[in-house]
Structure 1
């Protein structure tokens, strides 16, 4: 290291690694440092190229402060960078095309659902705009598991540092505690940025990532249509129908968004981190290869096998996602009957949602959750059965309350659910009728038939003992009296 004396006013010596990190994180970078001496002091490899690459990533991960265990600023920057490649701005022409498609979709949907139109203005987004509009929801969905991973990584790294390294760390230990959160933020941002290249709208993964928004991504729609041999206008209109159907459902069923996001958050909070894997990684971590930690995160090596409770929670979540996607699938296909390629597009979207793209898999590995409706076809069949038996209004009335929603078992027996639902409705009608009769005068009739003023009737209709045990009043003329 350079022999330049410290410029501290009190000439109090600093821990050498603390001073190096402070200068590095303060924006001076590698300037003024001899890489070979730096490597020697920190016990790192002496290859200047490896050092430069390592400290470049460390600086990116630790340069900005964060008040939370996860560095969300870094996640945002990473997402924007990942989305930036080949992301042209939306042109006025594309905005008009999307707006017209969504307006037409709203008109086409009207006869096929009892849920009213939303009056939301349709938008055309670039990938970067999708990131900006949805990152807040991604943060809400991933924060529970993100905090757990960040804490576990920082704890494991600190526990497995050599004693001589700990003494060198001194006041720089707080910087190192941000490493886990920074690493997770970086990986999350990269996953969200990659997803921005695959999604087609604001609700493409089955949940409303942007509250009260209705949008399509023209550049992604163009790539989606490559090889399908279907006119782009027809593809855009079909996807607009799906987006508008999602919007109606989430706007007109106000409890649904919170129901889904709450279920996801509950599942994420139940994820526990496999500390043994983190400890093993910390023991074998090569400081010259910071990509190793990122690779471990992206491969989900910290995620243990799910518990039975988590399996049950995941089954409920997947059922809810399937019901949303099944309803949208059924309504969209009915409204798209005039499109020549409606059946082909429906099947393409179904397969796409069932399998997920590479970015969706990467995100699932990172947080231990894949937001895919595995039972979409069964759910669509159930909604179709309900429409046949109950009509459009009766089918859509199921969304009135979460307690009315079909269960996973109901997806196995759509006809049986319809029959059970009809029987329950009939029973509820009987109860309602009895209650209405009681309120409309039945209670008065009951009072007439019952005793008043302490009187009681015997089985033959004659006056019996009163409430006080004496003989009741009698007499054929109604005047009654004691003999």
Structure 2
């Protein structure tokens, strides 16, 4: 636990307990069906590894990168993994708040509010997200007995079985094809981080810099978290909007953070767009109904589930993530069309060859900077 003036800033255990208690139940399946889904997802994850490596050519032949585990989890397992990741990433921010605690005008109130309220509110947000994530390459949380990870701080691939079953039923698509299709996307993220050793440290460094640049009193952080929780529970008055429709991340930015966030946005657009591009490139060869799946999934992605879902997506910045898929995929496709897959793979050379946010929108500028300059 990180504490401020003797009061816990975040009760992480309570966050896990709250999220686990509030998360929606998964789809009804028998024990035998659940075992079959888990076994199939593990097979698809293994098959996807070969397909993605062959298509992306990111890993030279004969070279075997560090292995990272594939974990098929339920919603509670996803919650535990992400709380562990948040706990690791938020250390610099919470340490900074601890330093400011004694001089903060809201410090006494924060001590009274304590980490239990914050833990409950974080748990509420995670309960919302836990029923929506199909898979994730979890990069930062340390290994535990429940959640093993790769050696030397490597990550783990999470496939959230109940969510995958829920969506395949909702879309009314072939379940076997859909499970492989999802596995291809998530395996691409696993390949990105295992084939590019510097990527994890670079991304973590950018996130830590973003958090360290936070310039606000602790009560403001609690207030922003409370706004998101109010949106989740419907407590925000009818018709009241958050400030200009901005996301939670945008509401707490300093000028330095805006600059860092621009770089982070570009990297995430690249990673998500690349995964979509690979999924579409490999899909027609191994997923017979890929066209139907893609069309139905895109429609679902765009419309959201409800008015509350749309409002919370905006507040949490999830709409920005949807744009990352779209903009990043266009960037990857344009670059590959121009210079081929080997030429595109120069993007993984170093942090200096990553695209900027402007270059994501104008791929020709990246090609000119990285290729023509080198030539």
Normalising by the smaller structure, the TM-score range is 0.7 to 0.9
TM-score where L is the length of structure 1? 0.58
The C-alpha deviation readout for 1:167-217, integer Å capped at 9, x for no partner, is xxxxxxxxx82623222122112222332211111239xx67775322312
Q: Aligned residue for 2:201? A: 258
Structure 2 residue aligned with 1:123, among 60, 65, 71? Answer: 71
Structure 2 unaligned runs (5+)?
A: 142-148, 237-241
Which segments of 5 or more consecutive residues in structure 1 lack a partner in the other structure? Answer: 1-64, 160-175, 282-290, 427-483
Deviation by residue 1:74-106 (Cα, 9 ceiling, x = unmatched) = 223223323474488894322211111112212
Residues 154, 179 of structure 1: 8 Å contact kept: no
**Aligned partners of 2:134 and 2:164 also within 8 Å:** yes
In structure 1, the partner of 2:181 is 238
Show CA shifts across 1:421-460 (max 9, x none).
Answer: 221221xxxxxxxxxxxxxxxxxxxxxxxxxxxxxxxxxx
Please provide the CA RMSD for this pair.
4.2
Cα deviation per residue 1:350-403 (whole Å; 9 max; x = unaligned)? Answer: 67667877679759857x898726343332222223323333223223212110
> Which residue of structure 1 lines up, in the alignment, with residue 272 of structure 2?
325
CA–CA distance in structure 2, aligned partners of residues 400 and 292 of structure 1 = 41
1:158 corresponds to 2:108: yes
Q: CA deviation at 1:278?
A: 9.3
Aligned counterparts of 1:381 and 1:327: Cα–Cα separation in 2: 9
Which of 185, 192, 213 pairs up with 2:126?
A: 192
Larger helix proportion, structure 1 or 2? 2
Q: Which SS does the other structure have where 1:214 is aligned?
A: strand
Q: Is the 8 A contact 1:378 1:411 kept in 2?
A: yes
Question: What secondary structure sits across from 1:216 in the alignment?
Answer: strand
Alignment of 1:96 with 2:43, yes or no, is no
1:401 aligned to which of 350, 361, 367: 350
Equivalences for 1:211-230 in 2 at 5 Å?
A: 211-230=154-173
1-structure distance, mates of 2:103, 2:300: 34
Matched, 1:334 2:281: yes
Deviation of the 1:242 alpha carbon = 0.6
Report if the CA contact (8 A) 1:146-1:184 is conserved: no
**Structure 1 equivalent of residue 144 of structure 2:** none
In the alignment, does 2:191 pair up with 1:248? yes
**Contact 2:16/2:83 (8 A) holds in 1:** yes
Asked whether 1:423 is paired with 2:364, we answer no
TM-score, length basis structure 2 = 0.72
CA distance in 1, matches of 2:79, 2:126: 7
Q: Does the 8 A contact of 1:188 with 1:363 survive in 2?
A: no
**More deviation in 246-255 or 341-350?**
341-350
Whole-angstrom CA distance in 1 between matches of 2:175 and 2:322: 26
Seen in structure 2, the aligned counterparts of structure 1 residues 208 and 199 have a Cα distance that, compared at 3 Å, is farther
Which structure has the larger Rg? 1
